[in-house]
Structures are given as C-alpha cells and as structure tokens.
Amino acid sequence: MDNIIELLRQHNLLKIINESVDIDLEIPHIAFIEAKKEDSKALLFLKPVSKRLGKEFHIPVLMNIFSSKEALKLIFGKDPQEISKEIDELMKLRIEAGFRGKAEFFTKLLSLKNIPPKRVGGKGICQEFVKQGDKVNLFNIPILTTWPDDGGAFITMGQVYTQSLDGKLQNLGMYRMQVYDKNHLGVHWQIHKDGMHFFNEYKKENKKMPISIAIGGDPLYIWCAQTPMPYGFFELLLYGFIRNKKAKLIKSLTNPIYVPDDADLVLEGWVNPQNLELEGPFGDHTGFYTPKELYPVMEVTCITSKLEPIYHATVVGKPPIEDKYMGQATARIFLPLLKTTTPELIDYDMPENGVFHNLILAKMKTRYFGHAKQFMHAFWGVGQMSFVKHAIFVGEDAPPLHERESISRFILNRINKESIIISEGICDALDHASPNACYGGKLGLDCTISEIETETKEILGDVELLDKMSILCHEIKDIKQFMTDTKTPVTFISIKKERAVREVFRMLRPVRKHTKLLVFTDAESDDIENLYMLIWKVTNNIDAKRDIFIEDEFFGIDATKKGVLEGYEREWPNVVNCDKNVLERLKKRALIDIDDDFAKRFWI
C-alpha cells in the first residue's frame, strides 16, 4: 500500500488531509464528492476521529484510490486493454511451425508458472502486530459510517477470503461487513455469491466456517475481489497473471485461511451457520438503501496488522463513484473470456449510471434473422451476466458504445414492437424493483436491425405538449423531451400519481402522434432536465414485466416509486442522500468545495 500511495503522490493523484475528520459521515461525504469531480484524486486522511466513540485513531484512512483511468493504470501497472489482449492471445495459444514458433509458445507457457498463489511459512508482514481473544476490538479501527440511515459502521473494501468445506477451493470476494460490537461482524453474502455457496456446505454439516478479511496491501487484490470469476476459480489467479508474479500468501493465526502477506490489516474468525442477525440498512452501490435482513455473523478471534497499517475504504451510492473505473477495467479484461461462450460478441459496455448490472450495451455480429434474440438468452445465462436487467444489442455498424449520444440515437432509430423482448430470471439481490427478491423481469432490445420505418411525429414544444397532457391527466406536473429528431422521441413526464401509471399511459393515447416513448418519474424527487441521473433512476426503478407498456408503436415506462397501486408488497427503499448539515459543516471547513450546479448535476 505504501508503494501505491507514493506512486499516486508522484503523479499528483493524491490529496492528503492533515486535520481531524470524523469517520461517521464526514470522511465518506468528502470521498463521495471527490469521486464525482473531473480531476478526482485518492484521499489520505491522516487524523481520523470519532466523536461517537470519543477516539482519535492512529491508523490513517485511504479512499477513492481507483479515482481515474490514470490511477487505474498505475495500480495495474499497464492499461487494462493490454491485459485483455494478453488474455485473448493466451486463449488462442498454439505451437507455430519452426523453432521461433516453438520458442514463443514455451516462453508464454513458462510465464504461466507465476499465476498460482504461493503459500509461505513463517510470520507475515501483516502479522507484525497481533491482538487475540479479549484484546480484539473492532472499535480501534477507523471503520466508517457512510450514510445517515445506515444501520451502523460497515467495512466496505474488505477482501473476504473463504474456502470450501473440504478445503480444495478458495474464494476471494468483496462483501460489506457491519460492525455489531467489538468482535462481531455481519457478513452480507448474497444468495448467488460463492461465499454463500461455501457457507451452505458448512451449514449442511453444522460446522463453523473459517473466514479472514484482509484490508489494504496491494490494491490489485481489491480489484480481483470484485471480478466475476467462474465458480471454483480463485480470484488471485488473476493477480498472478497481471503482475506476472505469484501472490504471496500467509496462514491466518487462528483459522486455516491464507491471506496476502502484505495486507495492512487482517480480521480472522469463524462463522457459526446457526447464528444469523439482522444486517442493514445500508446505502449501497445502487444508490438506494437495502433493507434489514438476516445474514451470518462472523466472530472475530484475531486482528493482525503491519506496525503502521492504513485502513482502506470506499463509498458506494449514486453514480458516478469509485467503482466506475473498476467496472470499466473489468469489462475490458473479461471481454475475451465472455467471447468464449458468446463468440459473436464484439464489445460491451456497462454505463456507470446504469449501475452496471442494470444496463448493458453489447455490439455483436448478426448472422441470421433472430440471432440477437437468441444471443440475449445466451448472454443472460453466462455467469454474473445472468443478473443483467436491461440489455441492448447493436450490430457491427453501430458507433462505439462509449459515445453516448451517438449510440443513443442509433438505438432510438431502431426500436419497434418487434425489437423488444421481455423475459424474466434471476437478478441482483440489491435490486428493489422486482416484485420478488432476486427474481424479476428483464428487458432485451434487438437494435441490430436497420432503421425502422415509422409514422412521422408532429413534434411540439415542451410547453405546448405539457398543456395537452395536463388536460388529459391533472397528475402531470412537467415534461421534458429528448431526441425528438429520432424515430423514437422520448418524453419524460413528472407525475404526482393518484392512480397506477399504466392507467395514466392509457389516458395519454391522444398524444401518440406527438411522441413515441413516455417515461414517468416522481414529481417530488426527480429532476427531468438531468438525463444522466434519470437513466440511473429508470434502470433502478423498473421491473420489465410490470413497468413497460406496449401499445402497437406507443411505449411507456413507469419509473416511479411502487406501492399498493401496483400491487407491490415489498418495502420500497429510500434513495441514499448526504446529510445536509454535514455537507455545510465540511464546506465551512473548506474540506469540500461544491456549488449548487454541482449538487444539482449529481442529485446531491
């Protein structure tokens, strides 16, 4: 960790805060604002304190380390695109004719010897300082409380190491961990994650499960922890491949789990399968609070550290946040692996305001009629791609996927009734829009087709169109039109609903000659001028089977908050927002510098 801090400092990608800042809300709010800046940098807080606990910590807090593409390259040691190319070449590895071809083949083959992690004996760097038994105290670590309505302090960037019941499989994941008391943590293993698969093995045999959480060390471990590796593959194999050296692992002192030798802190312990506690709420990366639910509890039996450790954390919430760049690297590096099961795939992109799993754009080679629809089902069946809620497929003639305005126009010129497929399947456990936890509707758009032929719309100005809509439905408070020069003009409608939006959509049939796609949002909370944040809200708030309306070539999307009007029986979560008093306090201390335009841009 010390090396990357120095690297970031040398490249002017590090801010050092040398005054006392509270671990409860203040440090996370500063990091949340910093992640949204054009010149975003890593933050090193040298004097974290807690008024709640009456403590001054001697462990600095490091945040926003994946702050930019430049920072990402420093952490990886190369451009993620280069790593993608290396993986692609490796997967096509074969012996070419001649001595040179054979030499190149065996050179590449020999380089693979550095991929598997190496277990070493003795005492690790992460074990220079040891606290066991009654001396274990999580409150001596500057673990952050991120959001006003969080259930407590949470570890947000812990590398969670586990192993299967027989010890043959290892897993590295990143799961949030709630602090219950001085030696207990809630483990947020979602139902589809490998950590939960292992947990179920121990539960079936009624045996305690060993677990160790590493914090800090080489930041590449952090990226490896959130990668979508197939079941049974240890994520640190990627570390060895990228670094071209073995990850050096040391055995935990009180359980059989091996962790990186150079970690800053390690929390060791056991999970009793019979012990479940309510975990949450927590303002997660979707930008919404997740509810209280029962999760396993880890008893911390030992805390080890370097002599001068640094506590590494992240902030999750409304985009853009730090995981923007982590996700971009993952998309690049995993493209060759994804192509092995979907060979027609050319490229894909996960817009950060679509919260990654909520929206994916994919470019593919189409070989026959209906190919894209067939491809969608294959796509939804590949590993963590199965969590994707909304997938849009375009052909080889589409502009680059990252050119947002160009690709949006391309898509809107190709949407008709036949291009839409609505399905269902598993979804992320953090998704709140589906009627059932972890299972809901999915939307696929086949935009590999040619530009559609459609009726010409009589486009009106916003004021005139609002007048017509208001006459039809008094619940409509405002409208904003986008992309009116495409074959699918989009109208966002701010509504204070008194009835199900589906009924309002039907009432607006007379305006179909002026627009084609109506998107309904909540008048009391949503700024319909802000397209970036609207996409975030829409992709979070809809379940395709319930909230998409199709009448010939007239479409509606209900992105409002759901409740009894829609027969929604789950608890609809609140949006994650900063504490206004904390923001004002940080402004007065010149620890943040934001104006009204900045706040409006990101719905802060």
First to last CA, the chain: 31
DSSP category for residue 520: E
pLDDT at 99: 52
Domains and CATH numbers, the chain: 2-313 (2.30.110.10), 338-447 (3.40.1670.10), 462-566 (3.40.1670.10)
Whether pLDDT at 578 is above 80 = yes
Whether pLDDT at 289 is above 70 = yes
Q: Which of 163, 471, 130, 172 is nearest to 306 (CA)?
A: 130
pLDDT tens by residue, 7-60: 999 999 999 999 999 999 999 999 999 999 999 999 999 999 999 999 999 999
Task: Specify the pTM.
Answer: 0.93
Mean of pLDDT values over 453-469 = 92
Q: How far apart are CA 211 and CA 267, in angstroms?
A: 8
Q: How far apart are CA 298 and CA 295, in angstroms?
A: 10
Confidence of residue 181 (pLDDT cuts 50, 70, 90): very high
CB 520, CB 560: distance < 8 Å: yes
Q: Which of 476, 468, 509, 517 is nearest to 494 (CA)?
A: 476
With pLDDT > 70 as the criterion, what percentage of the chain qualifies?
Answer: 96
Q: How far apart are CA 554 and CA 532, in angstroms?
A: 24
pLDDT tens by residue, 77-136: 999 899 888 888 776 655 555 555 544 544 554 456 678 899 999 999 999 999 999 999
Residues ≥6 apart with Cβ < 8 Å to 474: none
Weakest mean pLDDT among 254-258, 338-342, 395-399, 404-408:
338-342
Q: How far apart are CA 550 and CA 415, in angstroms?
A: 12
Q: How far apart are CA 305 and CA 284, in angstroms?
A: 28
Weakest mean pLDDT among 11-15, 279-283, 382-386, 540-544:
382-386
3-state DSSP percent of the chain in helix, strand and coil, to 5? 30, 25, 40
CA distances from 269 to 208, 263, 303, 474, 598 (A): 10, 16, 9, 59, 43
Weakest mean pLDDT among 14-18, 194-198, 200-204, 312-316:
194-198
Whether pLDDT at 421 is above 80 = yes
pLDDT at 98: 55
Phi and psi torsions of 443, nearest 5°: -115, 130
Map tokens 């589809």 to a residue: 192
Confidence of residue 256 (pLDDT cuts 50, 70, 90): very high
Whether pLDDT at 581 is above 50 = yes
pLDDT at 23: 98
Mean of pLDDT values over 470-488 = 96
Q: How far apart are CA 517 and CA 415, in angstroms?
A: 10
Higher pLDDT, 112 or 372: 372
Mean of pLDDT values over 198-202 = 91
pLDDT at 228: 82
Q: Which of 287, 288, 285, 339 is nearest to 314 (CA)?
A: 285
Q: Which of 375, 292, 290 is nearest to 338 (CA)?
A: 375
Q: How far apart are CA 464 and CA 461, in angstroms?
A: 5
Alpha-carbon 172 to chain mean position: 17
Provide the token pair at 135. Answer: 């001396």
pLDDT at 338: 83
pLDDT tens by residue, 60-70: 999 999 999 99
Amino acid at 471: I
Burial of 208 (0-12, 13-18, 19+ CB in 10 A): middle
Q: How far apart are CA 221 and CA 22, in angstroms?
A: 27
Average pLDDT, the chain: 91
Mean of pLDDT values over 312-324 = 94
Contacts 24+ apart (CB under 8 A), 16-19: 16/44, 16/46, 17/43, 17/44, 17/45, 17/46, 17/47, 17/591, 18/46, 18/47, 19/47, 19/589, 19/591
Q: Which of the residues are catalytic?
A: 284
Residues ≥6 apart with Cβ < 8 Å to 461: none
pLDDT at 102: 44
Strand partners, 444: 391, 421
Mean of pLDDT values over 242-261 = 95
B/e letters for 471-484, b = 16+ CB within 10 Å, e = fewer, are eebebbebbbbbbb
